[in-house]
Amino acid sequence: MVCASTIFPAANSIPDYAVTRLYQERLVFLCQMYNTVSCKMPYLAKRWPFRYNRLVCFNLQIPYSMNRTILSCCSLLLIAILFITGTLAVAQENRLRDRLRVAFDRYYAGTVAERTMNAEAREIVQMLNTYQADVREMHKNTAQAIWDSRTTGETEAFQRAAAARLASATYHSNAGTYAKIKNLRERATGLDAINARAADRMEKAFARNQLPEDLQKKMVEMSSEIEQIFQTHRPVLDGWEHTNNDLLEMLSAENDCSRRQAIWEALKQVGEAVDEKIVALVKVRNQAARELGFANFWEMQVIFQDYDPAELLNIFNDLDKATLPLFEKMKAQLDSELAQRFGIPADHLMPWHYDNPFFQEAPPSKDVDPNDFYRNKSKEEIVEIAQRYFRRINLPFDKVAERSDMFERPGKDQHAFSIDMDREGDVRNLNNVKPTARWMDTVLHEGGHGVYSLGHDSNLPFNLRVPAHIFTTEGVAMLFGAKAKEPRWLVTYAGASPRDVRRVARALEQQRIREQLIFCRWSLVMLYFEKELYENPDADLKALWWDIAGKYQLLKRPVQPGKELADWASKPHFVIAPVYYHNYQMGELYAAQLRATFGTRDNVLFGRRLQERVFAPAHRMPWQDFVRYSTGRPLSPEFFARELR
Ligand SMILES: [Zn+2]
């Protein structure tokens, strides 16, 4: 019997139970076998008889018609054998996965072994009782204030929201309580898995709020100043001030290359106004992180997001390797289209030839506009489509929709979000629905967050009734959002005509692959640049930005090396959402892995599996264990890359 931590590395303390290394290896073998069979079968069925016939006819001189019958029979037999083996492999794999889940369930239910708590463990349980009640109260107040402020835009509600956030931060900044929790946790023995997990989360909530007050104040002031510059800066082009949106529109319509360059440069102007200020902020953030014992702010953020930095980098290194050849191929195709559009050779294309100033989105497809499927619907119908879909897979989106605020209104927040008001069944979405593909995607996306929140096991302690990780809830939301452009879904739920959909199905698929690949390579740029930024803020960041963009996005440096401008600093995320971008890409990886595990059929079984294996566990185990629990394997970029081939 091997130590279970080789199988579930995140749960180091799991005692031995009936899961051996052999068992894990069999699972991996069967998964690979199933994947090979399921990927290759349609290809074989389509191509084999024909190619084989030709080979035999030409080489062996046997009459073609006879050959065709014999070889078709052989092919059918082979396909039947592959099908049966595949089905058996799937059944076996499912059985193994079920056993894995039972093992996890037993461990996280705390029933693996009888435990005797020592005095410290009992004190932790007592502390947790008080803590859960306090946090529940604070959470409800904050959620209500956020909901009120975002739906009404009233100043009083905004002030209430800020005060509620501050109250929670102050509560968790108590250094004495933090030290006590740390001390008790070090000496406690016999604590059951759920309480241990709740205590871990409680300690982390305090750890995050231990920054010295003066540094915290300084960071808020510095980032507010930079945010204000971002908000008020107006790029100047031809001596006139413009808004970013105007320039983006001009860029996508412009066919003259030098004019495009001028617009693109105007979009990056703000970088020169803020780059030194951002570097100063980075240094203060690093100082704060070092006070808490971290090497720098990047490392602190990543660890506070429950990642092991080495593990996160490994995943992104694998992602880089798996997607680079696909990206190269796709970009060559895209470049030849753009070269044709601008009438220049493909190797003369510069960063301003891609409509998005950072090349983080795909230029629109010339063959299909997904908005065509939604243009003639009312905004109410968009919500009804989502309701019909979630009903079909038996997930309670209706319960979310009836409390939600779906349509535009003066004073209301113009974006979209999902909020769990009390972690007891009151979940709401805020949307500003319009009859467009983007809003169909958003309604499904926020609905996905909503049904995830509603599905948490209500027996868990209050502070564990949240998703396993930011990226798991984003992954579920992306899984649903992507349906809005899926050909089969468009016919079944959005009422599109099968003929229209068939005509553009290939273009829809190609555009989705482009979008996924382009965003994925951009997320690599953000991850590696930001890591370097915090590790060495005094480096030549202007040059570094283009080194990294060249490596991952295959973009050309716009000027001679050493003459670069501060293009990097024109991305506001370094200030407003630092060290966060990787979570979006991790969500895409998890969504692809869910599709590979549960299939893409929208039925009651699909909904039930999501509910039982993904939503219910909530935060009761570390995300590494959770991904194995819900999909039977560790998180891997393999499934994401496979969808893009
Ligand atoms: Zn989301």
**CA separation for the pair 348, 366 (Å, rounded):** 22
Determine the pLDDT at residue 73.
79
Are 379 and 455 part of one and the same domain? yes
Q: Please, what's the largest Cα pairwise distance for the chain?
A: 89
Last-in-domain residue among 188, 210, 232: 210
Are 90 and 173 part of one and the same domain? no
Amino acid code (one letter) for 209: N
CA of 446 to the centre of ligand 1 (A): 6
CA of 474 to the centre of ligand 1 (A): 5
544 has a pLDDT exceeding 70: yes
Lowest mean pLDDT among 68-82, 124-138, 288-302, 487-501: 68-82
Strand, coil or helix: 237: strand
123 has a pLDDT exceeding 90: yes
Are 55 and 132 part of one and the same domain? no
Q: Is residue 325 part of a domain?
A: no
122 has a pLDDT exceeding 60: yes
Distances (CA, A) of 484 to 52, 382, 405, 437: 40, 10, 20, 7
CA of 483 to the centre of ligand 1 (A): 15
The partner residues of 427 in beta bridges, in order of sequence, read: 420
**CA separation for the pair 413, 151 (Å, rounded):** 6
Burial 237-263 (b: 16+ CB within 10 A, else e): beeeebebebbbebbeebeebeebbbb
- If you average pLDDT over residues 272-293, what whole number do you get? 96
CA of 481 to the centre of ligand 1 (A): 9
User: Residue 417: which H helix or E strand, with range?
Assistant: strand 417-420
Please, are residues 450 and 429 in contact by the beta-carbon 8 Å criterion? yes
Count of CB atoms situated within 10 Å of the CB of 618: 23
Determine the pLDDT at residue 334.
96
- If you average pLDDT over residues 581-596, what whole number do you get? 96
Q: What is the DSSP string of 102-165?
A: HHHHHHHTT-SS-----HHHHHHHHHHHHHHHHHHHHHHHHHHHHHHHHHH--HHHHHHHHHHH
Last-in-domain residue among 108, 131, 161: 108
CA of 609 to the centre of ligand 1 (A): 21
Determine the pLDDT at residue 33.
58
With a CB cutoff of 8 Å and minimum separation 6, the contacts of 406 are 379, 383, 429, 431, 432, 433, 443
CA of 450 to the centre of ligand 1 (A): 10
Are 374 and 441 part of one and the same domain? yes
Q: What is the CATH number of the domain that holds 453?
A: 1.10.1370.40
Of 471, 453, 529, 525, which Cα lies nearest the Cα of 307?
471
- If you average pLDDT over residues 570-583, what whole number do you get? 92
CA of 604 to the centre of ligand 1 (A): 23
CA of 587 to the centre of ligand 1 (A): 9
Are 481 and 601 part of one and the same domain? yes
287 has a pLDDT exceeding 50: yes
CA of 472 to the centre of ligand 1 (A): 10
Are 20 and 169 part of one and the same domain? no
**CA separation for the pair 458, 611 (Å, rounded):** 13
Residue 277: both structure tokens together = 């200020």
- Range(s) of the domain holding residue 30: 4-108
Lowest mean pLDDT among 4-13, 229-238, 515-524, 604-613: 4-13
Strand, coil or helix: 99: helix
Total structural domains within the chain: 3
Q: Is residue 180 part of a domain?
A: yes
Q: Is residue 200 part of a domain?
A: yes
Q: Is residue 113 part of a domain?
A: no
pLDDT one-digit tens code per residue, 416-431: 999 999 999 999 999 9
The larger pLDDT score, comparing residue 284 to residue 47, is at 284
With a CB cutoff of 8 Å and minimum separation 6, the contacts of 28 are 633
Lowest mean pLDDT among 112-126, 163-177, 215-229, 477-491: 112-126
CA of 371 to the centre of ligand 1 (A): 21
Determine the pLDDT at residue 632.
92
Lowest mean pLDDT among 60-69, 253-262, 601-610, 612-621: 60-69
Are 396 and 493 part of one and the same domain? yes
| pLDDT bucket at 7, cuts 50 / 70 / 90 | very low
**CA separation for the pair 385, 261 (Å, rounded):** 42
Distances (CA, A) of 27 to 24, 97, 374: 5, 8, 43
Are 441 and 590 part of one and the same domain? yes
284 has a pLDDT exceeding 90: yes
Determine the pLDDT at residue 11.
40
| pLDDT bucket at 57, cuts 50 / 70 / 90 | very low
**Average pLDDT along the chain:** 88
Are 376 and 446 part of one and the same domain? yes
- If you average pLDDT over residues 67-92, what whole number do you get? 79
Amino acid code (one letter) for 269: Q
CA of 479 to the centre of ligand 1 (A): 11
Lowest mean pLDDT among 409-413, 442-446, 483-487: 409-413
17 has a pLDDT exceeding 70: no
Lowest mean pLDDT among 118-127, 438-447, 554-563: 554-563
CA of 60 to the centre of ligand 1 (A): 60
Are 104 and 124 part of one and the same domain? no
Last-in-domain residue among 190, 210, 230: 210
CA of 583 to the centre of ligand 1 (A): 10
Residue 541: both structure tokens together = 């960041």
- If you average pLDDT over residues 281-289, what whole number do you get? 96
pTM of the model: 0.84
Residue 479: both structure tokens together = 């899984």
Q: Is residue 19 part of a domain?
A: yes
Residue 604: both structure tokens together = 């009651």
Distances (CA, A) of 3 to 6, 10, 16, 17, 21: 6, 12, 6, 9, 9
Are 185 and 161 part of one and the same domain? yes
Are 138 and 90 part of one and the same domain? no
% of residues, the chain, pLDDT over 70: 88
Determine the pLDDT at residue 82.
83
Of 390, 404, 477, 406, which Cα lies nearest the Cα of 441?
477
Amino acid code (one letter) for 281: L
CA of 28 to the centre of ligand 1 (A): 31
